[in-house]
Amino acid sequence: MQPDIKCGLCIMEWVYGRAIAQNRNQDIPELFKNIARLLTHEINASANMGLLCNRAVDLIYEFVAPQSDFWEGIKEATNQYVKGLLPQAEAYVNKARTAQGKFQRACALAATGNVSPLGAPTARKAFAFPEALAIMAGKRSFPVIAGDVYQTALQSRRVFYVTDNAGEIGFDTLLVAMLKEMGKQVTLVVKEPAFFEDATEADAAFFDLHRLADDVVTVNKVFVPGKGRTAADRAFRQSDLVISKGTGNYEALHGETPGKPMLSLLKIKCDPISRDMGIGQGRFVVKLDQ
């Protein structure tokens, strides 16, 4: 995705906000200056937003670690909460009358799980998932489904599934299960080492995804396609469908998967992505890009 000037402001809010959230909300002026300096020199029309975000995150290590009791507390509480919702979610998916309907329902819940704010959370409590609950109760309309997502999934063989946050990865189990029932080989991508509230191997294991998916591979910060030799790079090159969860992964992967269709599941939280997708800000979306 080509960056907008607002993307720099978003990176500042996302990275700096998470740094001070675990610093007892005390400002770190030097870190702010370092991030601003990076953005000034490197944000341009050809920059990859994922790489830019990764470089901004690297700057915080002098001041705080991305793993802390602050984030682990939020993740643990959110994982437990979503685990309690999964029986209801599975029942909702299985009530659809057709295989296509079930697939779309699983996509919808995976998309509406994308609720982590652009700014850092203000408290160590579990994220809530009101949109997912409302959809299951029949009180909210479906996310926007753009493109023939079901037929594209049917025609694929190897799926590269890039997860986003802890908690919401529990909803991903519904979609991964559907893909496996369809006979697909699924490689799940998580973060390692810990990366704020993002899902790690431990979070995937909490929901038994290491047994459900064919493979679970790790990346250090946001995955950006390239010529690397890691397990994630190899799995990406071998895949014929990319599923991307959340804002950061969309920014890193959109336009970077030539020859591979990409299915994006997220809440549109900013104006640049709203304009890029042609869908209103605040909407949840399941969008296929060929």
CATH code, 102: 3.40.50.10880
- Same domain, residue pair 57 and 164: no
One domain, residues 178 and 34: no
pLDDT, tens digit, for every residue of 150-181? Answer: 999 999 999 999 999 999 999 999 999 999 99
pLDDT digits (tens, 9 = 90+) for 207-249: 999 999 999 999 999 999 988 899 999 999 999 999 999 999 9
CA gap 175, 179 in Å, rounded: 6
Bridge partners of residue 284, in order along the sequence? 267
Domain count, the chain: 2
State both tokens at 231. Answer: 């397990």
Whether residues 169 and 28 share a domain: the answer is: no
pLDDT at 6 over 90: no
112 φ/ψ angles, rounded to the nearest 5 degrees: -75, -5
* Last residue in a domain, options 36, 62, 88: 62
Query: In the block, which residue shows the tokens 């999964």?
Result: 86
Does the global pTM surpass 0.85?
yes
Domain final residue, candidates 34, 62, 90:
62
Query: What pLDDT does residue 117 have?
Result: 85
Residue 28 CB contacts under 8 Å (≥ 6 apart), including other chains: 16, 19, 20, 63, 64
- Same domain for 143 and 165? yes
What's the mean pLDDT in 11-23?
Answer: 91
- Amino acid 221 reads K
Residues 132 and 269 in one domain: yes
Weakest-pLDDT range from 61-65, 91-95, 218-222: 61-65
Whose structure tokens read 């920059």?
A: 47
Asked if the model's pLDDT at residue 3 lies above 90, the reply is no
CA angle 20, 26, 29 (to 5 degrees): 80
Question: What is residue 46's predicted lDDT score, i.e. its pLDDT?
Answer: 85
| Residue 260 Cα distances to 65, 104, 256, angstroms | 35, 20, 9
CA dihedral sign, ordered 14, 78, 217, 240: negative
Is residue 1 over pLDDT 80? no
User: If pLDDT is split at 50, 70 and 90, which confidence band does 128 have?
Assistant: very high
Residues 31 and 115 in one domain: no
Q: Are residues 16 and 143 in the same domain?
A: no
Residues 75 and 123 in one domain: yes
Domain with 16, as residue range(s), is 5-62
Quickly list DSSP for the chain.
-PPPHHHHHHHIIIIIHHHHHTTTT---HHHHHHHHHHHHHH-STT--HHHHHHHHHHGGGGT--S--HHHHHHHHHHHHHHHHHHHHHHHHHHTSSSHHHHHHHHHHHHHHT----SSPPSSSSPPP-HHHHHHHTT-SPPPEEES-HHHHHHH-SEEEEE--BTTTHHHHHHHHHHHHHTT-EEEEEEESS--TTB-BHHHHHHTTHHHHSSEEEEESSS---SS--SHHHHHHHH-SEEEEEHHHHHHHHTT--TTS-EEEEEE--SHHHHHHHTS-TT-EEEEEE-
Pair (165, 54) in one structural domain:
no
Q: Which whole-number Å values give the CA distances from 173 to 41, 66, 93, 163, in the listed order?
A: 40, 25, 12, 11
Instruction: Tell which of 62, 82, 111 closes a domain.
Output: 62
Q: What is the pLDDT of residue 283?
A: 93
* Rounded-to-integer distance, Cα 176 and Cα 129, Å: 19
- Please state which of the ranges 82-96, 112-126, 196-210 shows the lowest mean pLDDT: 112-126
Cα 73 to Cα 57: distance, rounded to the nearest angstrom: 21
